[in-house]
């Protein structure tokens, strides 16, 4: 499928489509006739004459020679001027029709064509692109990094397309805690990444870069990105995208960051195996809930910590065997009892702080402690003697700084090992709340409150108005 380019040479076929628009916009008894097509200038300006439907159509000779006579015969309001922005892709290169039904309005005898609403040709589905897009960008208007309104919607150039990358029209983007940390200034993006927030997206492939052969235009994908997700369009490496099979865009946008993180840390680094025991902190967070589902499907004995009765019930439904409400009980004393003093084989920790030393206490001999977050910050006065006595391994990682090659390896394993479970419906993200891109401040506020179960997702639809 071709990508639309600006057109100036197929005006006559376009008239039929414009007339369809006119019927829905204004007096249906009128039709439009192109006048002096050879007068189209470098500014892409041309004139259309409004003619009654029952009037005899002008032939080519009349069009050329009868312009002045027509201007004298009919009043000025019978004439329309159309001014197309040179940089806007308004007309479909495949069939020469106007792209979007809602993109044309009539105002003061002028057609107003809104390129921002161009979402694809109604006739052949070819997609065209605006010169600029809406993104969430940093502002500094009497604000500090901790303020929720530290970001607002701004115009940004459409990103250029490197080899092996594709342009995805973003329909939804996941909200993650690293987005909060970046907003607060404690988690800057890699030097080669977009400074725009957003680490996971779902949407439709609309353009392919050079040497990009694994996807086709129109494919629905979800993807992990190093930045740029809070935008209308986003660059995605072809090897890191995964199919959005059987999922809505909202659900698919909630998958990538958690799946990549859990798989790389719990299964690749932590080497969790069937029959082993695992402690997962924050069992109803995005990472925690995904870890419970994957470990359950593997056949592990699952222990988890949560902060409320409601969250405990959710964790049990996901597959946790033992749920500890940390507001009522200390996991450091509970797990030795539940495991009869053995401890757990693997620990996945997003909390940090005083949890680190407690993790050492409840880990089994030769246990593996995997650090994927530090919500409580670094531990203080850490006693490392249990780590040495038990010969524990304490490791961890971040995902954003990994190379495309490393992420590709994770994506391949996910497609082989996890995607069959997703297709069967055995793995499905929990969606706590959906906000529009314009409501990003509210999404961050909810994320920081901790009062949520599952994921927060942004819906990217600039044509929707806020109520």
Answer whether 0.75 is exceeded by the pTM: no
Q: Is 345 helix (H, G, I), strand (E, B) or coil?
A: strand
- In whole angstroms, how large is the CA radius of gyration of the chain? 28
Q: At what angle do helices 177-184 and 440-449 cross, to 10 degrees?
A: 110
Per-residue tokens: 32: 């439009």
Question: For residues 392 and 359, what is the distance between their CA atoms, to the nearest angstrom?
Answer: 10
| pLDDT string in tens for the chain (467-residue length) | 232 333 333 444 444 455 444 444 444 444 444 443 333 333 333 344 444 444 444 433 333 333 343 344 444 444 444 433 333 344 444 444 444 444 444 444 444 444 444 444 544 444 455 556 677 765 443 444 455 555 667 778 788 889 999 999 999 999 999 999 998 888 888 888 999 999 999 999 988 999 999 999 889 999 999 999 999 999 999 999 999 988 999 999 999 999 999 999 999 999 999 999 999 999 999 999 999 999 999 999 999 999 999 999 999 999 999 999 999 999 999 999 999 999 999 999 999 999 999 999 999 999 999 999 999 999 999 999 999 999 999 999 999 989 999 999 999 999 999 999 999 999 999 999 999 998 999 999 999 988 899 999 999 986 554 43
How far is Cα 180 from Cα 174, in angstroms, rounded to an integer?
12
Phi, psi torsion values for 11, nearest 5 degrees: -65, -40
- Annotate 126-175 with DSSP letters as a single string: -----SEEEEEEE--SS--TTSGGGEEEEEEEPPP--TTEEEEEEEEEEE
| CA distance readout (Å), 126 to 100, 195, 216, 245 | 11, 30, 13, 22
């Amino acid at each position: 499928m071709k990508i639309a380019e600006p057109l100036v040479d197929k005006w006559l076929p376009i008239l039929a489509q414009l007339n369809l628009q006119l019927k829905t916009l204004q007096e249906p008894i009128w039709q439009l006739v192109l006048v002096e097509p050879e007068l189209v200038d470098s500014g892409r300006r041309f004139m259309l004459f409004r003619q009654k439907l029952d009037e005899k159509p002008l032939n080519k000779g009349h069009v050329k020679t009868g312009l002045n006579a027509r201007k004298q015969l009919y009043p000025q309001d019978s004439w329309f001027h159309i001014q197309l922005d040179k940089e806007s892709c308004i007309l479909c290169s495949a069939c020469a029709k106007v792209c979007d039904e809602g993109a044309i309005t009539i105002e003061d005898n002028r057609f107003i064509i809104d390129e921002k609403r161009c979402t694809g040709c109604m006739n052949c589905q070819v997609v065209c692109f605006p010169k600029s897009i809406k993104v969430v960008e940093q502002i500094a208007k009497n604000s500090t990094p901790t303020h929720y309104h530290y970001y607002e919607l701004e115009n940004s150039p459409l990103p250029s397309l490197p080899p092996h990358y594709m342009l995805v029209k973003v329909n939804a983007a996941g909200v993650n805690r690293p987005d909060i940390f970046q907003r607060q200034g404690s988690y800057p993006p890699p030097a080669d990444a977009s400074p725009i927030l957003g680490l996971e997206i779902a949407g439709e492939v609309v353009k392919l870069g050079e040497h990009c052969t694994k996807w086709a235009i129109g494919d629905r994908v979800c993807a992990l990105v190093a930045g740029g997700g809070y935008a209308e369009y986003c660059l995605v490496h072809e090897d890191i995208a995964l199919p959005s099979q059987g999922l809505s865009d909202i659900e698919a946008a909630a998958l990538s960051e958690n799946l990549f993180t859990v798989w790389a840390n719990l299964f690749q680094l932590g080497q969790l195996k069937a029959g082993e025991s695992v402690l997962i902190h924050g069992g109803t967070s995005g990472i925690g809930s995904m870890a419970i589902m994957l470990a359950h499907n593997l056949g592990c004995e699952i222990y988890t910590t949560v902060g409320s009765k409601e969250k405990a019930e959710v964790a049990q439904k996901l597959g946790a065997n033992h749920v500890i409400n940390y507001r009522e009980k200390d996991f450091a004393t509970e797990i030795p009892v539940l495991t009869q003093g053995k401890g757990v084989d693997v620990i996945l920790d997003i909390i940090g702080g005083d949890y680190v030393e407690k993790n050492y206490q409840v880990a089994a001999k030769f246990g593996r402690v995997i650090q994927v977050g530090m919500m409580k910050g670094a531990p203080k006065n850490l006693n490392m003697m249990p780590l040495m006595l038990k010969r524990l391994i304490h490791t961890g990682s971040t995902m954003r700084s990994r190379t495309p090659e490393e992420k590709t390896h994770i994506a391949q394993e996910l497609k082989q090992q996890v995607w069959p479970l997703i297709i069967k419906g055995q793995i499905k993200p929990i969606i706590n709340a959906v906000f529009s891109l314009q409501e990003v401040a509210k999404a961050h506020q909810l994320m920081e409150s901790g009062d949520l179960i599952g994921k927060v997702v942004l819906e990217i639809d600039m044509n929707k108005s806020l109520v």
